[in-house]
Structure 1
């Protein structure tokens, strides 16, 4: 069965709670009623973010696309920016709990077609770990989505280490997805560049810091993956290795070349280019690439199975990406 690991979901218009009433003003998400074209407006506070159609909230509509493209199962995760790392801890926890419980409800209604991936309020590590336990023990989820720079912390920030330890101890996979691009944002005001260019740069930096900061050195059993083919990371990995060889500060927290740790990372196959996908497979390993579409966003892949099959990979490698590697990442082979 082909499994699309990277998809996003929101509850239908009108269902998001009024978090502003409960926790005060802020950039709380709202989904306004659909217009005449059936598109609902996603707001963050008073800022218009984007228009969303029913594919974002309707499981039935999703399954039509899944059947059309040969996807047996989708792993559902919240729209990244809804994690609200900016919010006060209790408010952030309330948002996470609602998003997680909603995904779990959809999965419970369609267990053969969907699996769930949750979010946690990383602005408060104790609350984040408590919600992580809720995901694993109450909702039976096996993965959690986090940002590349959660609550203003790099992934090697020591504050986050207890969370990664808890993920390891609870056998939870971690999926790192850019919540918003931060690198060079002042130079990306045009052409939708924050998403097109900013997100891959943000992801490349996050993966590099995770490795060079020694997180995988200390937690070799942590299963962690990155969106969008790892962003810029596979391309800069050779330069990062060179830095390790010639710069002493690169060896402060790790004993091996960064490429050794990179082979432990998972990424999705969302590269939009056959040569790029083959390159990612070569750099990170054919057993560490997962099928992912970013459904239903416009910058997603409309037919991810066809994209993988068209990349010219050996049949066994394509089969692993389409169906097998995700089981290992989620710990289902353990």
Structure 2
């Protein structure tokens, strides 16, 4: 059964010293301190350690073979978004990262699909790079963050970007990052365990209540980590909409539950009961295999949750590849040898 993983991250093995190139700090650099391992630093602050599977396509393909993953959708590591940087510098870095992803896809067109990154802090430059990603590089769409410098995704500056994505037929993948309240959660990895799910719900609610999804019904947008806390709290969100329309329905008078069948979600929920709930809530045709490869908080045996949960073969096939193809607007035939 064809298996497409829509949520995987990749980096180039090397890139220029961005602090020297742009003249100020805050950017990520790699320290290849031993064979097959590198430390990610933001200036002098350690961020995380990565291995060769984060940059070497051959290592990725070997690990894909182990888990019978046929296709990976590649996107950058969110810390590389650099929305805080000067727009022209984030644009330049986006081009570099997107050229790298496009190159990997060109080398293995039946094994990888690419999503670009765009400088969301500049509407003009973001649209310019989005158009290049789709029209010149042949990428399927873009990955964006759950907020942009603490601005929610319903901000008027972002609407033209989403509108351009809809017109281009580009898939959009929203990934949590820069988690709100992280300063208040310094222990226990809470920004990743608590903040990330809340971040995704923040993004979804902003797009719903802000009327973005209502105005762009053909925008193919997916959310990481099973939509975070949003699916589990849709009842509360809907109830709030019903009882306090003066607060919730100020920009969009449509019940938020309507949009459950307008969004896509990856399957990264780590719990068979939650996955069953998601299928009941939105349908298998809205859920696609996603693992957050190659990071440890992801699904370490890609597809296992779907394959070992009590679903019919038809529903499993839908989540393992059918939904991904629908979201990406791609043909299954190009990935079957």
- State the TM-score, normalizing by the size of structure 1: 0.96
- The 1-side partners of 2:93 and 2:282 are apart by 34
Q: Does 1:5 align with 2:19?
A: no
Name the counterpart of 1:96: 94
Distance in 2 (CA, whole Å) between partners of 1:284 and 1:151 is 30
Q: CA shift at 1:327, angstroms?
A: 1.0
3-state secondary structure, aligned to 1:275: helix
- Asked whether 1:204 is paired with 2:201, we answer yes
Residue ranges of structure 2 left out of the alignment (5+ in a row): 332-337
Deviant stretches of 4+, over 6 Å: none
Aligned to 1:179: 177
Taking only aligned residues, the RMSD between alpha carbons, in angstroms, comes to 1.2
The residue that corresponds to 2:49 in the other structure is 51
Specify the alignment match of 2:240 in structure 1: 243
Task: Within 5 Å, give how 1:269-284 maps onto structure 2.
Answer: 269-284=267-282
Residue 285 of structure 1 corresponds to which residue in structure 2?
283
Which SS does the other structure have where 2:73 is aligned? Answer: strand
CA displacement, residues 268-301 of structure 1 (integer Å, 9 cap, x when unaligned)? 0000110011111222221110100100001111
* CA shift for structure 1 position 192: 1.1
Task: Write the distance in 1 (CA, Å) between the matches of 2:178 and 2:309.
Answer: 29
Instruction: Tell me how far apart the structure 1 counterparts of residues 257 and 155 of structure 2 sit (CA, whole Å).
Output: 21
1:1-334 to structure 2, matched below 5 A, reads: 1-12=2-13, 15-35=14-34, 38-182=36-180, 184-248=181-245, 249-332=247-330
CA apart distance, 1:255: 3.1
SS in 2 for 1:327: helix
Paired residues in the alignment total 329
Instruction: Report if aligned partners of 1:19, 1:91 keep a CA contact under 8 Å in 2.
Output: no
Higher mean displacement: 226-235 or 276-285: 276-285
Distance between the aligned counterparts of 1:228 and 1:258, measured in 2?
A: 20
Q: Secondary structure at the match of 2:116?
A: coil
- Unpaired runs of at least 5, structure 1: none
CA distance in 2, matches of 1:59, 1:219: 35
C-alpha offsets along residues 136-162 of structure 1, whole Å, 9 cap, x if unaligned? 011111120000002332011111100
